[in-house]
Chains A and B, each alone.
Chain A
Amino acid sequence: MKRVNRSKLGDLFAKIAEAEALYLPVDAPEGARYEKWAPGKKLSNATNTVRSAKDFFFPQTERLYDVKRSGKTLEIEPPETETESFVLFGVRACDVRSFKILDSVFLADPVDTFYKNRRERATVVALACDRPEETCFCGAFGIDAAAPEGDVSAWFEGDFLYLKAQSEKGEALLAKLGDLLEDADEKDVETQQMRTRWMLSALPLGKVSFEGMKKTDLMDHFKNEKWRSLSEACLGCGTCTFVCPTCQCYDVKEFDDGRKIRKFRCWDSCMYSDFTLMAHGNSRNSQLERFRQRFMHKLVYHPNNHDGEFGCVGCGRCLQKCPIGMNIVKVEKALEATHE
């Protein structure tokens, strides 16, 4: 365990940014968002960013390749592989766990090389929470907000930022910071950890559990009558999907700039009416079906395919942002109540 005085935070960021691009949450009109650090930029105090950290590995849009068509000939131009390594500072425990969930999709055979390349180039400095929100329920998924996973775990306590390397990448990062850091005792953050864990358990969603979902089989969940009332007011927008750190569905689109066709992929939402639209029909015609798909995917399909791991990390973004106040906690409670 190492530590650095808060007054030296600017120096610490400058030192990291000397070698690699550094991204961290800063205050913005919408709340907090990740920005590339530059002298003068201050780390936000917000519990979490509005958009999740998934953007760094799975950006909203990215170029897949270009195609030039001349006569009957096609010329396919893959993009240059990005090579810049970067540091993500201040990622919360929930978002760190979301990377593992995204990994289980994108790194499964056949590997998504765009995603993998970015994952490999990133060093994640995870920041422990000390002021959780009422919308937080990461504990339901076995995530410890007071001891986040990541290449480096970090805590703000008193006058210091405490840092502990958790991987080779993390060791390498701390080694580069050399003189700025001093040795510290892990005990220094234990009080804070206990307080945060207590706060999380005392908050309204402290007792939420999703394990009950596993007692009922897929078709019983699918056929549950409750989907009708749960989805009744859904606007069919993509807010929940786009702020979600684990939603990873995408669309592949093209853009004709007159000289070439640019193939790009972009986030897509299962809540959208054209998500499953084909020339001759749509397999999910109603908002009920689309709404059900989103929650079934997170709470049933994903765990079925990935050793019981839910497709949710309890970050609470959807609870804060849904225009009509619907969310995964309400869904879970309603489904479970049916089978009690």
Chain B
Amino acid sequence: MQDRMIARAKELLENGTVDRVMGWKKGEFIYDVTPAVFYTADELEKDFVMNAFTAANVSKYLIAETKKPGRILAFLKPCDSYSFRQLMNEHRVDRDNVYIVGIPSWGKADMEKIRALGITGITDITEKDGDLLVTTVMRETHAVKKYDVYLEKCKNCKSKRIVVYDELLDGENGEDVPNNRFDEVAKIEAMPPDERFAFWRGELSRCIRCNACRNVCPACSCEKCVFDNPKSGVENKAPADDFEENLFHIIRAYHVAGRCTDCGECSRVCPQHIPLHLLNRKFIKDMNELYGDYQAGETEQVRHPVTNYRDDDAEPGIVYTRGGSGR
């Protein structure tokens, strides 16, 4: 697929459709790929990469890129396309300044999970028939099933459908995928309150407040985050007490409620493996149950259930918890 993408990018550069290309750049290893903008065919040939580790969602970069002159080519995976569509709905990206080629994604691998298998001293990883062959410095080769080391977001993929594009690399679109992404949420919901509280306190206690979850999040697109603003009174780089730290994530989850497309980037980048996606999925699950199924970024719809008031809306804070019908 990498070769076809490079070939198509070169064509689109040459025929003037775009003047630059948003993609992923090769690193020191197979997995440390970096989102990058390519300007020439030579740069594409040399450094453009598409492999089992090109998981980074490039949609957020398009906020800044589509404000620049010219037109950029963006290769969007299905999940990235949901984020882009949502940013369009929020008027954060200029659709005219990007040419989107939708690309299929069959799941991305998580290097942390490969390491967790106990494999050390890795000298090479190659993809073979969808699986990964990991070679070590001691000349051992481990065959790793890609499914076993999928990123959480891929393991519970919601859709292979590309929701916004100018063309599709494969010519045909994927479909929504049956998934179990709310199972973990349901498990936590079923916990007694004390246990649930302890669960989240435990998970969130690992936070080092690096802000990677927020900075990578396409829904966190505020020019200046309230937590970075010294004038807000809540700006802090570290907790004065640990409860404050927990609130950072809960407030963030509230702020992206209805706009989070469940792209899973927050959990992918968390250096402390906090399952942040579960907070967002809880909101998505609640919205589905209270207001009917809704998928952010799926359609051209500006108002999501949380901001779209209807007379027959459930009031989850009052009615629902006090035995209302919920509908």
List residues of chain A with CB under 8 Å of any chain B CB: 28-31, 45, 47, 50-51, 60-61, 131-134, 199, 202-205, 229, 232-233, 235-239, 241-243, 251, 253, 255, 262, 264, 266-269, 272-274, 277, 319-327, 329-330
Contacts and interface: CB of A to CB of B under 8 A. Distances in A.
Contacts of A235: 212, 215-216
A242 B208 contact: yes
A44 to B, nearest CB: 11
A329 B209 contact: no
A83 to B, nearest CB: 24
Nearest to A201: B137
Contact of A131 (B32, B35, B121, B240): B121
A205 B27 CA distance: 12
Contacts of A251: 237
A322 B32 contact: yes
A325 B32 CA distance: 4
B309 interface: no
B36 A204 contact: no
Interface in B209-261: 209-212, 214-216, 228, 230, 235-241
Contacts of B56: 323-325
Interface string B250-281: 00000000000000010011011110000000
B96 interface: no
Given A61-B240, A238-B208, A266-B236, 6 more contacts: A29-B206, A235-B216, A237-B210, A237-B216, A266-B238, A274-B228
Interface string B25-58: 0011101111111000000000000000000100
A132 B35 contact: no
Given A233-B35, A253-B237, A323 B120 contact: no
Nearest to B43: A229
A60 B210 contact: no
Contact of A31 (B36, B120, B214, B273): B273
B230 to A, nearest CB: 6
B111 to A, nearest CB: 7
Given A61-B239, A202-B137, A268-B237, A237 B211 contact: yes
A45 B118 CA distance: 9
B288 interface: no
Nearest to A55: B208
B122 interface: yes
A314 B120 CA distance: 16
A205 B28 contact: yes
Interface of B: 27-29, 31-37, 56, 61, 111-112, 115-116, 118, 120-123, 137-138, 203, 206, 208-212, 214-216, 228, 230, 235-241, 265, 268-269, 271-274
Contact of B269 (A31, A229, A239, A329): A239
Contacts of A268: 237
B137 A203 contact: yes
Nearest to B238: A266
Contacts of A327: 28, 32
**Most chain B Cβ neighbours within 10 Å, of A131, A243, A268:** A131
A255 B237 CA distance: 12
Nearest to B111: A320
A245 to B, nearest CB: 14
Contacts of A239: 210, 212, 269, 271
Interface SS of chain A: loop
Given A204-B28, A324-B56, A236 B215 contact: yes
8 contacts: A51-B208, A60-B208, A203-B137, A235-B215, A237-B211, A268-B237, A320-B115, A330-B32
A301 B42 CA distance: 35
B264 to A, nearest CB: 12
B37 A253 contact: no
Contact of B238 (A28, A61, A203, A329): A61
A236 B208 CA distance: 15
Nearest to B61: A233
A330 B34 CA distance: 11
Contact of A323 (B115, B118, B268): B268
Contacts of B209: 60, 238, 242
A133 B28 contact: no
Nearest to A206: B137
A323 to B, nearest CB: 4
A50 B272 CA distance: 8
B208 to A, nearest CB: 5
Contacts of B123: 134, 202-204
A264 B115 CA distance: 36
B230 A274 contact: yes
A269 B228 CA distance: 12
Given A239-B212, A324-B35, A133 B120 contact: yes
B235 A274 contact: yes
A239 B272 CA distance: 10
A48 B147 CA distance: 26
Contacts of B137: 132, 134, 199, 202-203
Contacts of B211: 236-238, 272
Contacts of B61: 233
Contacts of B203: 29
A329 B210 contact: no
A257 to B, nearest CB: 8
B228 A323 contact: no
B266 to A, nearest CB: 10
B30 to A, nearest CB: 10
Contacts of B34: 233, 324-326, 330
Contacts of B271: 30, 50, 239, 242-243, 321
B37 A330 contact: no
Contact of B37 (A29, A133, A232, A255): A232
Contacts of B27: 325, 330
Contacts of B116: 31
A57 B233 CA distance: 29
